[in-house]
């Protein structure tokens, strides 16, 4: 069974799968700024198995994003196998199975983190997925369903037996959603229990956090999600910190603006300008956080309808606080 060859990656910090965020544009930006690997948004195995055009288009990526993991969610083992068969032509570097999503719309159908309550179902999905492809199949889990029923170690061992190539552990239960702090002890426990690579996830906001997580858990890679929102530079900071170098200086607003332009252009090329304007709004909110005048500008940005209007508002922020 192929395992994830982490020795071939150029770094130890990777971008988390984030629905509505980790699209090709954001993934490419994060790769350019030092992410060693990127995950797609979660893709419905059922939709892929039905050859659903929009879902297949969501799976597309640019060669420069590699290595890319395409993540699937669902409940039916055969849908995962059929979904993977649909994705093979894209030649992804690996696949990832979502056993961690806490969102009610996924959990109420028995998918994502709901599967943590049913190890047999997880084994059936992982076995079907591993049989469906010669590429590495990874899995992403939470610490368990709720406090008192944390079973990440048991699930990780099972996944390893099923031929899974690496496991990402988010140190929160489903019940916690995103509240409180992640329990990195669970990541350490999984690392001790399995021989395949373990990717630690939860609350990496800085290079120092990444170093501390690796020291505390022994994990092979660190995965950052929310910390990268409006901050693709996080990966360069982590790489510097893990390499023993000084943290890069804060990015001046002019530098941020250049990256925002790039982000916008990549997204507009993929999705068209009007959709890019709508989808960029949340990213812009994160990019301008902490900049003088941001609160006021945010309101206008949320209602701007053309690229010119958006950049006029952003340039005004520059004027207020020259870099």
Ligand X SMILES: Cc1cc2nc3c(=O)[nH]c(=O)nc-3n(C[C@H](O)[C@H](O)[C@H](O)COP(=O)(O)O)c2cc1C
Give the residues lining the site for ligand X (CB under 6 A): 16-21, 41-42, 71, 98, 100-101, 140, 170, 201-204, 224-227
101 is catalytic: yes
CA distance 170 to 177: 11
- List Cα–Cα distances, 31 to 11, 107, 197, in angstroms: 10, 31, 21
Between 177 and 302, name the residue whose CB sits nearer to ligand X: 177
Instruction: For the CB of residue 285, give the shortest distance to ligand X in the complex, in Å.
Output: 13
Q: Where are the beta strands (DSSP E) in the chain?
A: 13-15, 38-44, 68-73, 94-99, 137-144, 167-173, 198-201, 221-224
For residue 18, give the nearest of 145, 166, 147, 201 by alpha carbon: 201
Which one is catalytic: 101, 162, 219, 241? 101
Q: Which residue has the tokens 């290079």?
A: 207
Q: Which residue has the tokens 């003088």?
A: 292
Between 23 and 41, name the residue whose CB sits nearer to ligand X: 41
Instruction: For the CB of residue 274, give the shortest distance to ligand X in the complex, in Å.
Output: 22
Instruction: For the CB of residue 212, give the shortest distance to ligand X in the complex, in Å.
Output: 14
CA distance 263 to 49: 31
Between 80 and 253, name the residue whose CB sits nearer to ligand X: 80
Residue nearest ligand X, CB atom distance: 225
Instruction: For the CB of residue 224, give the shortest distance to ligand X in the complex, in Å.
Output: 5
Instruction: For the CB of residue 35, give the shortest distance to ligand X in the complex, in Å.
Output: 12
Backbone torsions φ then ψ of 2, nearest 5 degrees:
-70, 135
Between 226 and 298, name the residue whose CB sits nearer to ligand X: 226
Between 21 and 297, name the residue whose CB sits nearer to ligand X: 21
Spatial CB neighbours of 151, under 8 Å, sequence gap ≥ 6: 116, 119, 144, 145
| Strand pairing category for 68-73 and 167-173 | unpaired
Kindly list the catalytic residues.
101
């Amino acid at each position: 069974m192929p395992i994830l060859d982490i020795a071939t990656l150029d770094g130890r910090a990777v971008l988390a799968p984030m629905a509505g965020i980790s699209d090709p544009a954001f993934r490419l930006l994060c790769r350019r700024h030092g992410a060693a690997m990127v995950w797609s948004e979660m893709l419905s195995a059922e939709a892929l198995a039905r050859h659903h055009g929009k879902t297949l288009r969501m799976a597309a990526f640019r060669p420069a994003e590699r290595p890319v993991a395409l993540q699937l969610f669902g409940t039916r083992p055969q849908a995962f196998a059929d979904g993977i068969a649909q994705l093979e032509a894209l030649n992804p570097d690996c696949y990832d199975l979502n056993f961690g999503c806490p969102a009610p719309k996924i959990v109420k159908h028995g998918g994502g983190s709901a599967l943590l309550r049913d190890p047999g179902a997880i084994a059936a999905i992982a076995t079907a997925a591993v049989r469906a492809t010669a590429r590495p199949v990874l899995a992403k889990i939470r610490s368990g369903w709720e406090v008192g029923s944390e079973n990440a170690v048991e699930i990780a061992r099972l996944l390893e037996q099923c031929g899974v190539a690496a496991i990402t552990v988010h140190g929160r239960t489903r019940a916690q959603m995103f509240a409180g702090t992640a329990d990195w002890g669970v990541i350490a426990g999984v690392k001790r229990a399995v021989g395949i690579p373990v990717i630690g996830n939860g609350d990496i906001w800085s290079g120092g956090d990444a170093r501390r997580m690796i020291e505390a858990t022994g994990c092979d890679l660190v995965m950052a999600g929310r910390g990268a929102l409006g901050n693709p530079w996080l990966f360069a900071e982590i790489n510097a910190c893990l390499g023993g170098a000084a943290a890069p200086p804060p990015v001046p607003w002019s530098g941020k603006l250049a990256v925002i332009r790039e982000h916008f252009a990549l997204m507009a090329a993929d999705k068209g300008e009007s959709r890019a304007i709508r989808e960029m709004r949340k990213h812009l909110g994160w990019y301008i956080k902490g900049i003088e005048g941001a609160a006021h500008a945010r309101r206008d940005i949320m209602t701007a309808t053309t690229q010119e209007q958006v950049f006029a508002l952003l340039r005004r922020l520059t004027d207020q606080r020259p870099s």
